[in-house]
A and B are shown apart, each in its own frame.
Chain A
Amino acid sequence: MRAYDMTATEISQRVHRKEMSATECVREVADRITALEPLVGAFLHLDVQGALNQARAIDALSDDERQQMPLAGVPVAVKDNMTTMDMPTTAASKILEGFMAPYNATVVNRLKAAGAIIVGKTNMDEFAMGSSTEHSAYQLTHNPWDLSRVPGGSSGGSAAAVAARMVPIALGSDTGGSIRQPASYCGVTGLKPSYGRVSRYGLIAYASSLDQIGPLARSVDDVALLYDIIAGYDPLDATSIRAETARVSEGPVDWKGLRVGVPKEYLSADLGGVVAQRLQDVITQLEAQGASVLEVSLPHTAYAIATYYLIAPAEASSNLSRFDGVRYGYRASGADLLEMYENTRAQGFGPEVKRRILLGTHALSAGYYDAYYLKAQKVRTLIRQDFEQAFALVDVILTPTTPDVAFRFGEKSSDPLQMYLSDVYTVTANLAGIPAISTPAGLADGLPVGIQWLGPVMGEDRLLQVARGFEELWPSSTWPGLGGEA
Chain B
Amino acid sequence: MNSGYDVIIGLEVHVELKTQSKLFCSCSASFGAEPNTHTCPVCLGMPGVLPVLNEEAVAYAVKAALALRCTVHPFSKFDRKQYFYPDLPKAYQISQYDQPLAEYGAVPIIVDGHVVKEVTVRRIHMEEDAGKLNHLGIRLGDAKGSLVDLNRAGVPLIEIVSEPDMRSADEARLYLTELRNVLSYLDISDLRMEEGSMRCDANVSLRPHDYVGSLEDLPRVEIKNVNSIRNVQRGIEYEVARQAELLARGERIVKETRGFDDQNGRTYSQRSKEEANDYRYFPEPDLPPLVLTQEAIERVARSLPPAPTVLREELQQAGVTAKEAEIIVGDRALWEYWREATTHYEDKRQVTNWILSDLSRLLNAHGDTWLTPRVTPAALADLLRLIANGTLSGRMAKEVLDRMYESGATAAQTVEAMGVSQITDHGAIQAVVQQVVADNPHVVQDYLNGKEKALGFLVGQVMKQTKGQAKPDMVNAILKGVIADYAKT
Interface of A: prevailing SS: loop
Q: Which residues of B contact A236 (CB under 8 A)?
A: 50, 52
- A327 touching B89, Cβ below 8 Å: yes
A341 contacts partner chain B, Cβ-Cβ < 8 Å: yes
Chain A residues in 8 Å Cβ range of B281: 364, 369
A235: which B residues are within 8 A, CB to CB? Answer: 52
**Which of B46, B278, B282 is in CB contact (< 8 Å) with A373?**
B282
Q: Mark A24-38, 1 if CB is under 8 A from B, else 0.
A: 000000000000000
- Taking a contact as CB atoms closer than 8 A, the residue among B45, B48, B53, B90 that contacts A202 in the complex is B48
How distant is the Cα of A328 from the Cα of B84 in the complex, in angstroms?
15
Bound-state CA distance A204–B46 (Å) is 9
Number of A residues whose C-beta is below 8 Å from B? 45
In the complex, A81 Cα to B47 Cα: how many Å? 9
| A200 and B50 contact, CB distance less than 8 A | yes
A314 near B282: Cβ-Cβ < 8 Å: yes
Is B48 touching A105 in the complex (CB atoms < 8 A)? yes
Chain B residues lying within 8 Å of A238, measured Cβ to Cβ, are: 50-53, 286-288
Within the assembled complex, what's the spacing in Å between the Cα atoms of A390 and B82? 38
Question: Could you give, for residues 177-212 of chain A, a 1 whenever the CB lies within 8 Å of some chain B CB and a 0 otherwise?
Answer: 000000000000000000000001111110111000
Interface string of B125-169 (1 = CB under 8 A from A): 000000000000000110000001000000000000000000000
Partner-contacting stretch, out of A96-104, A296-304, A414-422 = A96-104
C-alpha spacing A467/B285, complex, angstroms = 31
Neighbouring B residues of A200 by C-beta, 8 Å: 48, 50
Contact A101 B41 (CB under 8 A): yes
User: B140–A337 contact, CB under 8 A?
Assistant: yes
Q: Are A237 and B50 in contact, CB atoms less than 8 angstroms apart?
A: yes
Q: Are B46 and A101 in contact (CB under 8 A)?
A: yes
Q: Enumerate chain B residues within 8 angstroms of A369, measured Cβ to Cβ.
A: 280-282
From DSSP, what is the main secondary structure of chain B's interface residues?
A: loop
What per-residue 1/0 map shows which CB atoms of B409-437 lie under 8 Å from chain A?
A: 00000000000000000000000000000
Q: Does B44 contact A (CB under 8 A)?
A: yes
B180 at interface (Cβ–Cβ under 8 A)?
no
Which residues on A sit within 8 Å (CB–CB) of B374? Answer: none
Considering the complex, which residues of chain B in the window 248-302 have a beta carbon less than 8 Å from any beta carbon of chain A?
278, 280-282, 285-288
User: Which B residues from 66 to 125 make CB contacts under 8 A with A?
Assistant: 80, 82, 84, 86, 89-92
The 7 closest A-B pairs by CB, nearest first: A321-B91, A208-B285, A209-B285, A364-B280, A204-B47, A202-B48, A204-B48
A64 touches B (CB below 8 Å): no
Whether the pair B47, A361 counts as a contact (CB closer than 8 A) is no
Establish whether residues A83 and B286, one from each chain, have CB atoms under 8 Å apart when the complex forms.
no
Q: Are B47 and A89 in contact (CB under 8 A)?
A: yes
A337: chain B residues within 8 A (beta carbon):
86, 140
Query: What are 27 inter-chain pairs, A to B, with CB distance below 8 A?
Result: A82-B48, A83-B48, A91-B47, A102-B41, A102-B46, A103-B46, A103-B49, A200-B48, A201-B48, A202-B49, A208-B285, A238-B50, A238-B51, A238-B288, A239-B286, A239-B287, A314-B282, A318-B80, A321-B90, A322-B47, A324-B91, A326-B148, A327-B46, A361-B280, A364-B282, A366-B278, A369-B282
Chain A residues whose CB sits within 8 angstroms of the CB of B86 once the complex forms: 324, 326, 337
Is there a chain B Cβ closer than 8 Å to A485's Cβ? no
- Residues on A with C-beta less than 8 A from B141 are 336
Of residues 324 through 364 on chain A, the ones whose CB sits less than 8 Å from some CB of chain B are: 324, 326-328, 336-337, 341, 361, 364
Separation of A116 and B216 alpha carbons in the complex (Å) = 61
- Closest B residue to A104 by CB, please name it: B48
Q: A331 to nearest B CB, angstroms?
A: 12
Chain B residues with Cβ below 8 Å from A324 are 84, 86, 91
Within 8 A of B (CB), among A66-98: 81-83, 89, 91, 96
A460 within 8 A of B: no
Kindly list chain B residues whose C-beta atoms are within 8 Å of the C-beta of A222: none
B50 touches A322 (CB 8 A): no
CB-defined contacts of B140 to chain A, threshold 8 Å? 337
A365 contacts the other chain (CB 8 A): yes
A315 within 8 A of B: yes
Known: A208-B286, A336-B141. A327 touches B44 (CB 8 A): yes
Q: Which residues of A contact B278 (CB under 8 A)?
A: 365-366
Residue of B with least CB distance to A83: B48
- Cα distance, A102 to B48, chains bound together (Å): 11
Find out whether the CB atom of A318 lies under 8 angstroms from the CB atom of B82: yes
A201 in contact with B280 (CB, 8 Å): no
Q: A317 to B91, alpha carbons, bound, how many Å?
A: 11
A321-B287 contact, Cβ under 8 Å, with A201-B50, A238-B52: no
Interface residues of B in 30-52 (CB under 8 A from A): 41, 44-52
Closest to B141 in A: A336
The residues of A that contact B50 with a CB separation of less than 8 Å are 200-201, 236-239
Known A238-B287, A314-B282, A318-B92; further 14 A-B contacts with Cβ < 8 A: A101-B47, A103-B46, A208-B286, A209-B285, A235-B52, A238-B288, A239-B285, A321-B84, A321-B92, A327-B44, A328-B46, A336-B141, A366-B278, A369-B282
Expressed in whole angstroms, the Cα–Cα distance for A317 and B92 within the complex equals 11
Chain B nearest CB from A428 CB (Å) reads 18
Complex Cα gap A336–B89 (Å): 18
Whether B84 pairs with A203 at a CB distance below 8 angstroms is no
Closest to B51 in A: A238
B-facing residues in A38-84 (Cβ within 8 Å): 81-83
Cβ contact within 8 Å between A315 and B48: no
List B contacts of A91 (CB < 8 A): 47
Q: What's the minimum C-beta distance from A103 to chain B, rounded to whole angstroms?
A: 5
